[in-house]
């Protein structure tokens, strides 16, 4: 990884990953798509101090 980070130009890295066997799975989604988008955007605004949605909230 250090050679990749220090090298010039773009790089392509292919990684082989194994599934995590101790993971219990994803909990069911309790929000619909649009609400998830706004919750994510509002969390980013709060955490990073940036504006994603305009003054009207979208």
Quote the CA–CA distance of 41 and 38 in Å, as a whole number.
Answer: 5
Q: What pLDDT does residue 5 have?
A: 76
In a domain, 4, yes or no: no
In a domain, 53, yes or no: yes
In a domain, 45, yes or no: yes
Quote the CA–CA distance of 58 and 37 in Å, as a whole number.
Answer: 10
In a domain, 6, yes or no: no
Structural domains of the chain, count: 1
In a domain, 46, yes or no: yes
Quote the CA–CA distance of 50 and 8 in Å, as a whole number.
Answer: 31
**Residue-range definition of the domain harbouring residue 46:** 30-58
Q: Report how many helices (DSSP H) and strands (DSSP E) the chain contains, helices first.
A: 2, 0
In a domain, 10, yes or no: no
- Residues 37-52 have pLDDT tens digits of 998 999 999 999 999 8
In a domain, 19, yes or no: no
- Residues 5-48 have pLDDT tens digits of 788 878 888 889 888 777 777 777 788 888 889 989 999 999 99
pLDDT-derived band at 58, boundaries 50, 70, 90: low
pTM over 0.75: no
In a domain, 16, yes or no: no
Q: Give the CA distances from residue 27 to residues 6, 9, 18, 48, in Å, rounded to whole numbers and listed in that order.
A: 39, 40, 21, 26
């Amino acid at each position: 990884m250090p050679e990749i980070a220090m090298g010039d130009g773009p790089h392509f890295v292919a990684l082989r990953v194994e599934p995590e066997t101790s993971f219990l799975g994803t909990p069911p989604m309790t929000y619909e798509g649009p609400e998830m988008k706004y919750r994510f955007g509002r969390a980013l605004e709060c955490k990073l101090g940036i504006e994603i949605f305009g003054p009207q909230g979208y």
